[in-house]
Amino acid sequence: MVNLPFPPPLPLSDKTILVTRAAGQSSQFTQLLQQQGAAVIELPAIEIMPPSSWDGLDRAIDQLHEFDWLILTSTNAVDYFFERFMTQGKSLAVLAPLKIAVVGQKTAACLQQKGIEPDFIPPNYVADSLVEHFPDRDRLSELKLLFPRVETGGREVLVKELSAQGAMVVEVAAYESGCVRTIAPEIADALRKDAAAADTDPLQIDVITFASSKTVKCFHQLVQTIPPAGLQPIPSLRTCIASIGPQTSIACQTYFKRVDVEAAEYTLEGLTQAIGQWVISRQPL
């Protein structure tokens, strides 16, 4: 009988990872982490909902012929824009004269699922890269851009930079994101125990992941509701705080005074890889 060697353990075996993405958006990330051996706890820190009014988006959809570019920076923007677009009974042919820019491969894939190919995807998956590499930069002063976006709390860099270079940027609320107000008792208990644990005690949550700045803010608000109010620090200083990219890392530094892992590629796959590398780096030689 041939004795086959045991396969090596997966990079995230024996690690418990907290995912804070919105409900309905966490499943892909959860699967990526589980494929690497992690146990995953899902705690949606934000919820995605319609904007307070559809008026701005509806007017923009009626006037699409006036725009040169449509800019979509998230899958939420794609989903809500096209939900409203179809509600109005529009045909995809209306979009033919319009160029479409997206930020990130996930946003591009979401658009492709609607049957549309983006005209431009910046090389880095952040809005700053879209401004830097925008293909019509030499004639921005002649262009009118439609930017469906989150109603409150989004970054302003894209609008400010494109407007400063002469473009007419029309912002419309396509969706809203808000903080979840309650935390599951069992997750609150795990965070509380980790914060009070001795250095030799095993952690119940090894890594907390963040995929947006607003998620950091909302998670911070959530943990402040965990009694007793004076219990600090939450998260535990031994718990890894993992960020998907630079802006999210800034938020981690602001609210938690640290960030332990930042993805080199600003995607869920990149964040999964970065966490795996962090785990490996902490293993004894």
Separation between Cα atoms, residue 122 and residue 130, nearest integer Å: 5
Question: Is residue 267 within 8 Å of 105, Cβ to Cβ?
Answer: yes
SS3 at position 39: strand
CA neighbours closer than 13 Å in the CB half-sphere of residue 170: 17
Q: Could you tell me if 108 and 116 are in contact, meaning their C-beta atoms sit under 8 angstroms apart?
A: no
Instruction: State which amino acid sits at residue 225.
Output: T
Helices (H), 134-236: 157-164, 185-196, 213-223
* Measured distance CA(179)–CA(175) in Å, rounded: 14
Q: Is residue 161 in some structural domain?
A: yes
Number of domains in the chain: 2
Q: State residue 231's pLDDT score.
A: 62
Distances (CA, A) of 34 to 79, 200, 203, 214, 243: 27, 26, 18, 25, 18
Q: Looking at the structure, do residues 118 and 154 belong to the same domain, yes or no?
A: yes
Helical packing angle, 105-113 and 75-87, nearest 10° = 20
Write a three-state SS string for 173-195: EEEEEEECCCCCHHHHHHHHHHH
Are residues 114 and 72 part of one domain? yes
* Whether residue 255 sits in one domain with residue 226: yes
The burial of 65, by beta-carbon neighbours within 10 Å (0-12 exposed, 13-18 middle, 19 or more buried), is given as exposed
For residue 248, give the H/E element and its range.
Answer: helix 246-256
- Give the residue from 153, 175, 197 where a domain finishes: 175
Based on the fold, state whether residues 168 and 191 are members of the same structural domain: no
Q: How far apart are the first and last CA of the chain?
A: 33
Alpha carbon distance 230, 50 (integer Å): 36
Compute the distance between CA of residue 123 and CA of residue 108 in angstroms, rounded to an integer.
Answer: 12
DSSP for residue 273: H
| Lowest mean pLDDT segment, chosen from 18-22, 95-99, 134-138, 275-279 | 134-138
pLDDT at 146: 97
Same domain? 147 vs 171: yes
The per-residue pLDDT for range 73-93, each reduced to its tens digit, is 999 999 999 999 999 999 999
C-beta neighbour count of 40 within 10 angstroms? 19
Q: What is the pLDDT of residue 142?
A: 94
- Is residue 33 within 8 Å of 62, Cβ to Cβ? no
Residues in the chain: 285
CATH number at residue 97: 3.40.50.10090
- Indicate the average pLDDT of the chain: 91
pLDDT tens by residue, 161-170: 999 999 999 9
List pLDDT tens digits, range 239-264.
Answer: 999 999 999 999 999 999 999 999 99
The pLDDT tens digits of the residues spanning 175-210 come to 999 999 999 999 999 999 999 888 889 999 999 999
Q: What angle do CA 120, 125, 128 make, to 5 degrees?
A: 85
Q: In 3D, which of 145, 165, 163 has the Cα closest to residue 98?
A: 145
Q: Are residues 188 and 277 in the same domain?
A: yes
Last residue of a domain, one of 175, 210, 234: 175
pLDDT at 125 over 60: yes
Domain of residue 110 covers 50-175
Residue ending a domain, among 143, 175, 207, is 175
Tokens at residue 1, please?
A: 């009988």
